[in-house]
Amino acid sequence: MKLLTSIFTALFISFSPVKAQIDHWETVVYENDLWNYLVPSSPVDLSWNTFGFDDASWSIGAGGFGYGDGDDNTILPGGTLSVFQRIEFTIFDLSNIEAAILNIDYDDSFVAFLNGVEISRDLLTGTDPAWNQFSNGLHEAQMYSGGYPNQYVLDNTFLSANLLTGTNVLAVQTHNESTTSSDMSSRVYLHLGITDASSDYGPTPTWFNPPVVLSSSNLPIVVINTVGNVTIPNEPKVSATMGIIHNESGLNTIGDPYNEFFGEIGIEIRGSSSSSFPKKAFGLETRGPDSSNYNVSIFDWPSDNDWILYAPYSDKSLIRNVLTYKIGNELGMWAPRTQMVEVVINGQYEGVYVFMERIKQNPGRVNIDKLNYEDTTGVQLSGGYILKIDKTTSGGIIAWTSPYPQAAPATGPIYYQLHDPEYDTLNPLQLGYIQDYVTDFETALSGPDFGDPLLGYENYIDVNSFIDFMIVNEISKNVDGYRISTFLHKKSDAHGGKLYAGPLWDFNLAWGNANYCEGGLTTGWEIYFNDVCGGGGALNNPFWWNKLVTDPDYTRALNCRWQELRQTTLHTDTLLAYISEMEIYLSEAADRNFNRWPILGTYVWPNNFIGSTYVEEINYLRSWLSARLDWMDDNMFGACADLQIEEEHISFEIYPNPAQETIVIQQYGTYQTGQIIIQNTLGENVLKTELVAENQVIDIRNLESGIYLVNLINSKNQIKTKKLIIH
């Protein structure tokens, strides 16, 4: 059990889901009830959300306030910045109310209050958000297009403290992201969970779904409680506690001990376009008792403090990212490790998530040398760096602009961001170095001698990594491939000094899940995205990929690699078998997920296919993939007449590295047996052991501090060598 400190026991709020003794649900506030509302043009009295406030001067109108979506009962003027609304309702008997649910469909942000006490909020900061405050981001309303409103469960503890017998007031303020926005929405409902057969209120709407009660799962269960039950914001991270139930038996039950992790975290909403979905993704960091970052191993992964809870929403297969990262790891590149989990936050079931690693420099993640601010000369200056080409909507900072344009016919610029180290922590000399290196690569690639092994691009990049990166983006027909969420990393000169493509990231719109720019077709190459959708903006493909496939040496290597992988990792049967395995693994959890988020049979941007069941979504993924593989077989670049396929491909990582007491040899791809031999710098064998496990722990306490070579030799005497540093 990864327990950071025993004092967290006092901080950790016990799991308190909506209880099973609820007899039925009724609605006490409907969106189309008559509300008092105000479209302010000056500050609003801070007591506006309390019971005693005098709203006689406010307007009265049927709820469903907004404009632009065609579903508003009270149409507000275009460009409205905010609307404040209040409604009084009567509670007849508190003793038979176990829980309540606030459903709200909004565009773009809101804060809701019960008798002056905040219930929930999204994309709006501040204790008392000002009337003229803009939303912190975009959130599209869902109901006008057949979707489901956001749901917030209020448990018995909250209701006992804040709900009154007799008259109560529900108050909501909704804000737009700009005064030029094309739409705005505020549709609000309040439902009550009744423990007996009484009927004092109204029937629930036809779309209403009672909250899912999670009792057990074959997936690990992640239970998160924010301090004070505060709503998790976009930023900054708020304090919370997290427990993970992960039993060896495979059956995890609410109430079991938190045996995988139990401790304090900081957590915030993450994502760009995905942050507008009701089901939120989260970034979290594990913390020590002084709120500092605290490295810990979760699911036996390499220790770190940065983690992600990815929320599959528009990806109704739930596994597109998981499938991609599995392929990436089996190809020998690092890709985030993943674990499917079910998540409960503040007592409310939130569905199926992917617990995963964040991209960062770490011996167990992107294995490049750590770059310190003072590393400004020699080998230290040369790496490592993690770069990306991406949107800036999540706070990204453009580090520099390439002197070369995107691939024709697009004419826009190529923007580079620094991911690790981040731009604002980089020494100016380091920024100048990495900018010059990447520009030199682009210059060599765009020049007349680009294919020359000495003067051309091969002098700057690890070609095999670019080939594998291209194959994964093309097999998945990733509509964001190459132009968004595209990472590169550069190793120091001590490790070859070249630029590598990857890690892989964010494939939720791949594998046939996008209905724009031919993303749903099984034909065509994503490297030619600009021919289909490219314009003059920033979000188009760099020119590299189009230029690389004009080099016969590159396309021959690409074709050979494709044929090799089609007989191993990317064999149709292998991929389809994995999808079937995940379908079985997720079958029960998927049912709960789609009860919590009833979007099956409903379009969620940017679905190319809309299945009415989870099985239909999985079957679509299978059929799309099979057709895509066939097309790529028939249309692959280059030729490979001299293909010689190695039956075993050695790929492994060492972590931690540097190390002190033990190391783990983690294999990727085909499982190897054989020997592990560690040599010192004199070439002497100092440790020799049999290779018997995919994740083999080796005791190195008898070895002195220094640099060593770790040789993995498989049963066919093929060898792979990596450097190990022992402190």
Residues near 139 by beta carbon (within 8 Å), at least 6 away in sequence: 106, 107, 108, 109, 122, 123, 275, 276
Q: What per-residue string of b and e applies to 111-122 under the rule 16 or more CB within 10 Å gives b?
A: bbbbbbebbbbb
Residue 134 pLDDT? 95
Look at the chain and count its residues.
Answer: 727
- End-to-end distance of the chain based on CA atoms, in angstroms? 27
113 and 148 share a domain? yes
Residue 526 pLDDT? 97
7, pLDDT greater than 50? no
Residue 125 pLDDT? 86
pLDDT in tens, 387-401: 999 998 878 899 999
Residue 16 pLDDT? 46
695, pLDDT greater than 90? no
pLDDT in tens, 571-608: 999 999 999 999 999 999 999 999 999 999 999 999 99
pLDDT in tens, 88-108: 999 999 999 999 999 999 999
Last residue of a domain, one of 338, 357, 376: 357
Q: How far apart (Å, rounded) are the C-alpha atoms in residues 525 and 513?
A: 16
| Peptide bond connecting 403 to the previous residue in cis, omega within 30 degrees of 0 | no
Please tell me which residue, 621 or 145, carries the higher pLDDT value.
621
354, pLDDT greater than 80? yes
pLDDT confidence of 360, banded at 50, 70, 90?
very high
In a domain, 592, yes or no: no
Last residue of a domain, one of 492, 517, 550: 550
Residue 288 pLDDT? 86
18, pLDDT greater than 80? no
Residue 648 pLDDT? 53
User: Which residues span the domain enclosing 174?
Assistant: 24-194
pLDDT in tens, 174-186: 999 999 999 999 9
Cβ–Cβ under 8 Å, residues 386 and 355: no
Residue 3 pLDDT? 52
pLDDT confidence of 402, banded at 50, 70, 90?
very high
Region 684-708: what's the mean pLDDT? 88
State which H helix or E strand residue 438 sits in: helix 428-446
428 and 482 share a domain? yes
Pair of tokens at residue 449: 């001698």
Residue 20 pLDDT? 47
Residue 403 pLDDT? 97
State which H helix or E strand residue 161 sits in: helix 156-162
Cβ–Cβ under 8 Å, residues 66 and 184: yes
1, pLDDT greater than 90? no
pLDDT confidence of 649, banded at 50, 70, 90?
low
Averaged pLDDT of the chain: 91
346 and 375 share a domain? no
**Lowest pLDDT segment from 145-159, 294-308, 661-675:** 661-675
pLDDT confidence of 644, banded at 50, 70, 90?
low
76 and 178 share a domain? yes
pLDDT in tens, 283-329: 999 998 777 889 999 999 999 999 999 999 999 999 999 999 999 99
Q: What percent of the chain has pLDDT over 90?
A: 77
Residue 727 pLDDT? 79
In a domain, 159, yes or no: yes
3-state secondary structure 67-113: ECCCCCCEECCCCCCEEEEEEEEEECCHHHEEEEEEEEEEECEEEEE
320 and 380 share a domain? no
pLDDT in tens, 228-259: 777 788 888 999 999 999 999 889 999 999 99
511, pLDDT greater than 60? yes
pLDDT in tens, 164-209: 999 999 999 999 999 999 999 999 999 999 999 999 999 999 999 8
Residues near 260 by beta carbon (within 8 Å), at least 6 away in sequence: 1, 2, 220, 244, 245, 246, 298, 299
In a domain, 483, yes or no: yes
Pair of tokens at residue 462: 């690890």
296 and 440 share a domain? no
Q: Give the DSSP per-residue string, 579-600.
A: HHHHHHHHHHHHHHHHHHS--T
Region 33-47: what's the mean pLDDT? 96
Decide the pairing of beta strands 398-405 and 413-420: antiparallel
Cβ–Cβ under 8 Å, residues 371 and 357: no
In a domain, 624, yes or no: no
426 and 332 share a domain? no
> Looking at this protein, which amino acid is placed at residue 285?
E
The CATH number of the domain holding residue 702 is: 2.60.40.3080
pLDDT confidence of 682, banded at 50, 70, 90?
low
pLDDT confidence of 147, banded at 50, 70, 90?
confident
By C-alpha distance, which of 256, 229, 260 is closest to 244? 260
Please tell me which residue, 524 or 653, carries the higher pLDDT value.
524
Q: How far apart (Å, rounded) are the C-alpha atoms in residues 138 and 44?
A: 24
Q: How far apart (Å, rounded) are the C-alpha atoms in residues 152 and 112?
A: 10
Residue 341 pLDDT? 98
In a domain, 537, yes or no: yes
CA 602 to chain centre: 22
* C-alpha dihedral (557, 563, 565, 568), degrees to nearest 10: -150
The SS3 assignment for 620 reads helix
241 and 156 share a domain? no
Main-chain dihedrals φ then ψ at residue 673, nearest 5 degrees: -120, 160
By C-alpha distance, which of 701, 702, 722 is closest to 711? 722
289 and 227 share a domain? yes
280, pLDDT greater than 50? yes
Region 443-452: what's the mean pLDDT? 95
CA angle 577, 511, 530 (to 5 degrees): 150
Q: How far apart (Å, rounded) are the C-alpha atoms in residues 325 and 331?
A: 10
> Looking at this protein, which amino acid is placed at residue 649?
H
Pair of tokens at residue 548: 């690389």
41 and 190 share a domain? yes
15, pLDDT greater than 50? no
In a domain, 639, yes or no: no
Q: Is 432 exposed, middle or buried (0-12, 13-18, 19+ CB in 10 A)?
A: middle
> How many structural domains is the chain composed of?
4
pLDDT confidence of 4, banded at 50, 70, 90?
very low
Residue 535 pLDDT? 79
Please tell me which residue, 420 or 691, carries the higher pLDDT value.
420
Q: Is 443 exposed, middle or buried (0-12, 13-18, 19+ CB in 10 A)?
A: middle
144 and 292 share a domain? no
In a domain, 167, yes or no: yes
Going across the sheet that includes 82-91, the strands are 59-62, 34-38, 82-91, 166-175, 109-114, 117-122
The SS3 assignment for 433 reads helix
34 and 72 share a domain? yes
In a domain, 566, yes or no: no
Region 385-414: what's the mean pLDDT? 94
pLDDT in tens, 453-498: 889 999 999 999 999 999 999 999 999 999 999 999 999 999 999 9
Q: What percent of the chain has pLDDT over 70?
A: 95
Region 498-513: what's the mean pLDDT? 98
By C-alpha distance, which of 245, 278, 298 is closest to 350? 278
Q: How far apart (Å, rounded) are the C-alpha atoms in residues 585 and 274?
A: 25
